[in-house]
Amino acid sequence: MKREFQVFIFLTFLTAGYYILNSIALGFLGARFMSIPFTILLPLSVMLERARPSWPSRATYIISMIWLVFLIYILTGYVVLFVLSFDGVIWVKMILVVSAALLVVYGVVNAMNLRVRVLEVPLGVSDRVRFVHLSDLHIGTVRSGGFLRRVARTVNELEPDAVLITGDLIDGSKPVDSSILSELDVNAPVFFVSGNHDTYAGDFRSIISDTGIRCIDQSVVEFRGVQIAGVGYSMARHSLPALLDALDFDPEEPLVLLHHLPVDWEYARERGVDLQLSGHTHGGQFYPFNLLVGLMFPHLSGLYRDSAGFLFVSEGTGTWGPPVRIGSSSEVAVLDIVPMD
């Protein structure tokens, strides 16, 4: 009941904001009368996908999400034109519409491409260990088994020793079963910690139990001379210190922490974490949200380092909501753990 209430609140705010966007942008284009029909499609598709998913509801959901990004760019352009006193010029409006459409098309195509990022991280190991880091795959309405097969092919070509997933494997937008997740068929052990969207999907542990993916929330595993600590998602702010304190690990051995949120790195370093792997931010996913997300999470994407350790924040392997990436990439990260000089 609590989860359904949260969905209701989310849909209420989403619908209100979506209507405002439709009303302003379509009004600018002289088609405000279409605001209500266009607005209804998104919450309707969300509800249908959760209750009785089908190809029409999936198509409506995806089109509505892409339309949302188009509206954002139309509105952004409208504000610029209004400031410059060009908002009534027809040919300028046409250029704006075409530019917004091309930008969205680029974002959709860019989101479909998987970028491989290779990094070396020196830790106190005796032999090189190759980890592939995935995060925020968001398997659900937009991405499903076919996407996982493509990810698996990319991962297998990289020949990792292990695959590490830092949350939001499941999107929560529609029911997902173990047969879909089993499409992530890789030739290496897979360790996973939960993210916020996994908890939206209900009992995610039972869903992944038959897939070969090992959930290591609130536990530590030894792997080829590296300790891998997993801390699952928690609603409580700054929960990492208490959760990490409850784990049993050897402070003298290399310690890699899997934690969905790129927060509390300072405490993790003080506790002996050599490398923290996180996701959640999607690198902002698309403009202008990268600017807003960057304010919320100063460690937005990439590898950060200080004298006490490393933090790597993935831009995400999939996408949430609109399948659009502008200013970010859908990435598969290779982290080669190498001996220190």
pLDDT, tens only, 226-277:
999 999 998 777 788 888 888 989 988 999 999 999 999 999 998 999 999 9
What does the alpha-carbon distance between residue 133 and residue 155 come to, in Å, rounded to a whole number? Answer: 9
pLDDT band at 104 (very low <50, low <70, confident <90, very high): very high
Query: Tokens representing 94?
Result: 């046409």
Report whether 314 contacts 333 (CB < 8 A).
yes
Single-letter residue type at 145: G
Mean pLDDT for the stretch of residues 280-298: 93
The answer to whether residue 162 scores a pLDDT higher than 70 is yes
The answer to whether residue 111 scores a pLDDT higher than 60 is yes
Q: What's the pLDDT at 57?
A: 95
152: closest CA among 109, 100, 213? Answer: 213
Above pLDDT 90, what percent of the chain?
67
The answer to whether residue 80 scores a pLDDT higher than 70 is yes
Mean pLDDT for the stretch of residues 83-94: 74
Above pLDDT 70, what percent of the chain?
97
pLDDT band at 4 (very low <50, low <70, confident <90, very high): low
Q: What's the pLDDT at 202?
A: 79
Give SS3 for 202. Answer: coil
What does the alpha-carbon distance between residue 7 and residue 22 come to, in Å, rounded to a whole number? Answer: 22
Q: Read off the pLDDT of residues 40-55 as tens digits, 9 standing for 90 and up.
A: 999 999 899 988 999 9
The answer to whether residue 82 scores a pLDDT higher than 80 is no
Min mean pLDDT across 98-107, 135-144, 191-200, 238-247 is at 238-247
pLDDT, the chain, mean: 91
